[in-house]
Structure 1
Amino acid sequence: MKLLPNLLRRCIVLACAAVLPLAPFASIAGEVKVGLLGNLTGRAATSFGVPFKNGFELALADIAKSGVLAPTKTTIVVQPLDTNSEVTKAVTSFNQFAQQRLPIVVSDSQSPIGQAVAPLANDAKIAFISGAGSQLENKGGYAFRLADLKTSTSNVGKHLIAQGAKRVGAIVATDNPSFPTLAAGTLEGLGVNYVSTQNVTTKDSNFSAVLTNLKAANIDALVLSVLPEQAGNIIQQMVGAGMQNVKLAGTLATSPQTFTIAGKAATGLVFPQAWAPGGSRSAAFEAAYKQKYNATPTAYAGLGYQVAWLIAAAAADVEKAGKPLTGENLRTALPAASTGPLVAKHGILDLQLTPTGEAISAGTLARFADNGDIVSAGK
């Protein structure tokens, strides 16, 4: 998905400004209104949008109960809008947030959405936190990514080599810019070229021709840089093609959706996660999530939880400094808050945001257990 043209972007921002008073984007004193661009329906809902929103809202409840923000009288209020997993709807929703003069907006995932919204956020001086995997335009420094793709995907490549893989193939959905980037990161960890790379789109569901090519290349391991449901379809179709002995790895924070489709054939699939269940820091979060949503939290549920605490910490730091809760001040506070004492105590994963908007996170390797649970596969 291409970025919005500069002229169109300026027109959108100017149109918003024309009907609004000339004041900085800010919440009222003591309250931070967070706009959530949630993929709550559509293709990205099950894997990304819904778990992220659940984790975010669970954190807000924990923040309120903990009383940690009482000294600054700060409160966090989230306003979700459904993007339907579509770029055009995400842009429309962002403009609604801009009209309301929200100082900060969060997007759970999808590089095309992040790439379309980031320039608008920079123009409007709204802090923007995105789960996008690909690079974002960030001339004003307002856009932050949650994904450290290079570290995590490189570890996947190293894992395959350690497991004895010699002839590694790849299936890459090239119409989403994240997936080629992720595949390249895995390649870096492999230290050898893919013997066969098969390009697909995120709309594909029949992979018979692709698997025929990979089988002919005599691969012993396969890297899947595709959507979670596509990974499930590919694995299922590999069984039918007689490719059961191929080691499997994913480049994405894979969701249970993959296992639901592929069944036990997905057991052992290794993939990078920002977070996976089972850590001592997250025991209380996991129990609360299971009790409320009757499900095991995924990596994106963990990210949602972490981001809510991050925003709370940044807002508290801004208020302690006696400054207004504007997009500019929140943007400035986010990097230090990401490793500050509040997040260190209450967060569940190691995630540092840099002043240039990048993320630093070693994450973890995860895999599917034979019952479909996502469990840690090591650092």
Structure 2
Amino acid sequence: MDKSIKAAVALVVAGMAVAASAQEVVKIGTMSPLSGPQAHYGKDNVTGVRFAVEDLNAQGVTIGGKKIKFEVVAEDDAADPKQGTAAAQKLCDDKVAAVAGILNSGVAIPSSKIFNDCGVPFITGAATNPELTRPGYPGVFRIIANDNALGAALAGYAADTLKLKNVAVIDDRTAYGQGLANVFKKDAGAKGVNIVATEFTNDKATDFMAILTSIKAKKPDAIFYGGMDAQAGPMLRQMVQLGMTNVKFFGGDGICTAELAKLATGTKTLGNVICADGGASLAKMPGGTEWKKRYDAKNPGVFQVYSPYFYDATMLIVDAMKRADSTDPKKYLPELRKSEYSGVTAKIAFQENGELKVPLYTLSNYVAGKKTPIGE
């Protein structure tokens, strides 16, 4: 080979080596139930993070003088606190730079301590129990309204708008379901609603006939259920079997999904559902409509509720990294706390405790089997 050609090849190889050394891989962790009855939520959540990472990598982000390639590390927490804390520790061991994830409050609350102890910032766009932010960990954030807001909104609608007098309450004994039910009971009771029964089940149950039969004897105007759609769907079907077709059915974001209509299999009680999401409706989100078109085109049939929040959580983390010009959590965390980020879901800014400064919520019902924001 000619010496000049050899020299040219050597220069190209050297240039490629320099380019490779100037690229840094940054891992973004996420975890949600990817198995079990809540896997449809988990797939949507993780896909929201992946969608953000795809957009970021297409942008060609440079931080600290290096081109960054973001990678997603996803773990299955199975909606179980024990498996969830093991998954959280695994993300720490994998040296993720941040975590955008977790559906269930019962998983998020113990996992938040693990992330705090290993110095990894954590943002949830789904776990709503107020206890999550109570310890005051500096790297824990929530970009969705918590149960205090949702429970109060549902209680207000039941008492002030529908003028309901007698309501039964069921919860699934999880941190999420029980916490939301307690807020509803407190706020509804303060508005003069009579809580005629308080029952509980679990987040694996499918047979609610005994509970519903007991409640039916109390002649409630409505049932409030603190839990997820995997239980709410069968519950609605069994209410029909017991002739409880005029009883309203209230719940939080855990039941407020497109999947609920499938799980209820077209039963007439679906039309009695009033549920609350912790955020604006897609149509009222700053970028919701356009974002969902892109999301559905690439991920048909995946969308449930929370993916735009996990998309925003991922983008918010990287925005803080850019402003700090560092992917080191110790360096970008102060910028994350000062965020004023215009996301798909909202303008995101935090209180000192990591909660949103301006939490929003949306009440919805089901019209012709389709989840529909009330008043839109």
* Residue in 1 that maps onto 2:152: 154
Aligned AA (1:336) = K
Structure 1 residue 238: deviation in Å? 0.4
Aligned AA (2:44) = P
* Residue in 2 that maps onto 1:368: 366
Higher mean displacement: 268-277 or 306-315: 268-277
- Residues 228/57 of structure 1: CA separation in 2 closer, same or farther (3 Å cut): same
* Residue in 1 that maps onto 2:140: 143
Whether the 8 Å contact between 1:306 and 1:347 is mirrored in structure 2 is yes
Structure 1 residue 31: deviation in Å? 5.2
* Residue in 1 that maps onto 2:15: none
Higher mean displacement: 273-282 or 232-241: 273-282
The answer to whether 1:59 aligns with 2:23 is no
The answer to whether 1:133 aligns with 2:128 is yes
- Residues 242/138 of structure 1: CA separation in 2 closer, same or farther (3 Å cut): same
- Residues 70/199 of structure 1: CA separation in 2 closer, same or farther (3 Å cut): same
Kindly report the root-mean-square deviation, in angstroms, between the aligned alpha carbons of the 2 structures.
2.5
What is the 5 A alignment of 1:46-85? 46=40, 48-65=41-58, 69=61, 73=67, 75-85=69-79
Match of 2:259 among 247, 257, 260: 257
Higher mean displacement: 70-79 or 278-287: 70-79
The answer to whether 1:274 aligns with 2:278 is yes
* Residue in 2 that maps onto 1:301: 307
Structure 1 residue 328: deviation in Å? 2.8
* Residue in 1 that maps onto 2:215: 214
* Residue in 2 that maps onto 1:310: 316
* Residue in 2 that maps onto 1:173: 172
State the SS of the aligned residue for 2:374: strand
- Residues 140/55 of structure 1: CA separation in 2 closer, same or farther (3 Å cut): closer
Structure 1 residue 150: deviation in Å? 1.0
CA distance in 2, matches of 1:363, 1:260: 24
Q: Deviations over 1:84-124 (max 9, x none)?
A: 33333322332222223223123321122112211111211
CA distance in 2, matches of 1:355, 1:114: 19
CA distance in 1, matches of 2:55, 2:338: 22
* Residue in 2 that maps onto 1:121: 115
State the SS of the aligned residue for 2:109: helix
What is the 5 A alignment of 1:14-33? 32-33=26-27
Aligned AA (2:45) = F
Aligned AA (1:59) = A
Q: What are structure 1's unaligned runs of at least 5 residues?
A: 1-27
* Residue in 2 that maps onto 1:287: 293
Structure 1 residue 74: deviation in Å? 5.0
CA distance in 1, matches of 2:101, 2:136: 19
Between the aligned residues of both structures, percent identity stands at 20
Whether the 8 Å contact between 1:127 and 1:330 is mirrored in structure 2 is no
Q: Deviations over 1:56-79 (max 9, x none)?
A: 222233344456x45875553321
Structure 1 residue 274: deviation in Å? 2.7
Q: What are structure 2's unaligned runs of at least 5 residues?
A: 1-21
Whether the 8 Å contact between 1:211 and 1:238 is mirrored in structure 2 is yes
State the SS of the aligned residue for 1:242: coil
CA distance in 2, matches of 1:244, 1:34: 46
Higher mean displacement: 115-124 or 352-361: 352-361
Whether the 8 Å contact between 2:253 and 2:278 is mirrored in structure 1 is no
CA distance in 2, matches of 1:185, 1:172: 12
What is the 5 A alignment of 1:344-363? 344=342, 346-360=343-357, 361-363=359-361
Structure 1 residue 220: deviation in Å? 0.7
Higher mean displacement: 225-234 or 276-285: 276-285
* Residue in 2 that maps onto 1:98: 92
